[in-house]
Amino acid sequence: MTALGPGGVLVAGVLAIALLASVVAIGYVINRDAAARGMGGLARTLLTAGAIFVPFLVVPIYAVFTRRLGARTTSASRTELVVAWGALTVVVAVIAGTILSPPDPVTQLLYVAGLVAVFGLVGLVPLIRRGAFDRS
């Protein structure tokens, strides 16, 4: 196993903060989506808390049952789209980096950092096509 140097500790800290921010961002996006679909206050608060504290369980369940809530009354805002893009980029990069890299923590961090850049750029394509960055 390779020891983390000062640069590795910095990368690990940045990725840890990014992952924590991503989980909170996913809770924000789910909260805004549930509000746009007409979900009430207490149920939306519990859903948001669940999405932040146990996202691996709540997010897929919410995605499956979203249609039962009905259609959104407003379309997703630019902020929601960009926050969701950033959060999903980090989460998918961490999962893919963990699966694809050898069991060395330094190598895993390097994989995750590279995958964040790749997935971030790839994820921009649908946002640009949806017009999230148009000046309107």
120-132 pLDDT per residue, tens = 888 887 777 766 6
With a cut of 90, say whether residue 136 has pLDDT above it.
no
In sequence order, the 6+-apart residues with CB closer than 8 A to the CB of 14 are none
Whether the CB-CB separation of 55 and 76 falls below 8 Å is answered with: no
Q: Is there a domain that residue 61 lies in? A: yes
Q: What is the pLDDT, as a whole number, of residue 63?
A: 86
Q: Is there a domain that residue 50 lies in? A: yes
CA 21 to centroid of chain Cα atoms:
8
Whether the CB-CB separation of 91 and 98 falls below 8 Å is answered with: no
Q: Is there a domain that residue 22 lies in? A: yes
Residues in the chain: 136
Arithmetic mean of pLDDT, 44-49: 91
Q: Is there a domain that residue 47 lies in? A: yes
Give the total number of structural domains in the chain. 1
Residue 74's nearest CA partner among 37, 46, 101, 99 is 37
∠ CA 72-86-119, nearest 5°, is 115
Q: Is there a domain that residue 1 lies in? A: no
**Predicted TM-score (pTM) of this structure:** 0.76
Cα 64 to Cα 48: distance, rounded to the nearest angstrom: 16
- Return the structure tokens found at 60: 């897929």
Arithmetic mean of pLDDT, 77-84: 84
pLDDT digits (tens, 9 = 90+) for 6-44: 777 887 788 888 888 888 999 999 999 999 988 888 989
- Return the structure tokens found at 39: 């979900």
Q: Is there a domain that residue 108 lies in? A: yes
Host domain of residue 68: 6-130
Q: Is there a domain that residue 136 lies in? A: no
